[in-house]
Amino acid sequence: MRSLHLSAVIARDAAEVYAFAADPENLPRWAAGLAQSDVRRGGSALVAQSPMGEVSFTFAPHNAFGVLDHDVRLPSGQVVHNPLRVIPHPEGSEIVFTLRQRDLTDEEFERDAAAIRQDLEQLRALLDEGV
């Protein structure tokens, strides 16, 4: 299984980036690959419409280490673990998403990588605007 680390450097303190990215209400603003609609509670999970259909997901508990790992339950019922970290960087912070090539063709994997890059760039643009 191939892994690809995708990242964006954001000129904001890591704690600020973490707080913004961890807020479920902000997900549709920057994480179109996960949430294209308002996020709602569905029991202990969060639920939203995604490009794949309705998904539910749970994030790692709030922590001081910038860990935003999340498990996504796809419409098929498959659960995918997604490592996501906000780490300090000399220019502010860096958000790093690890994409794993599970049962994807190379073309699907590259398409997923492009979507994640776009999401990370959208997060950077929002935070650069001072949201």
Q: CB 121: neighbour CB atoms within 10 A?
A: 12
SS3 25: helix
- Quote the pTM value: 0.91
Tokens of 27: 């997900």
The structural domains of the chain, ordered by start, are 3-128 (3.30.530.20)
CA distance 124 to 63: 21
pLDDT digit string, tens, across residues 32-87: 988 988 899 988 899 999 988 999 999 999 999 999 999 999 999 999 999 999 99
Q: Using CA atoms, how far apart are residues 110 and 25, in angstroms rounded to an integer?
A: 28
* Interatomic CA distance for residues 16 and 95, integer angstroms: 12
Report the C-alpha gap between 34 and 122 in whole angstroms: 13
- Name the DSSP letter for residue 42: E
Say yes or no to pLDDT of 130 above 90: no
Residue 102 has pLDDT above 90, yes or no: no
Contact between 40 and 24 under an 8 Å Cβ cutoff? The reply is no
47/24 Cα distance (integer angstroms): 10
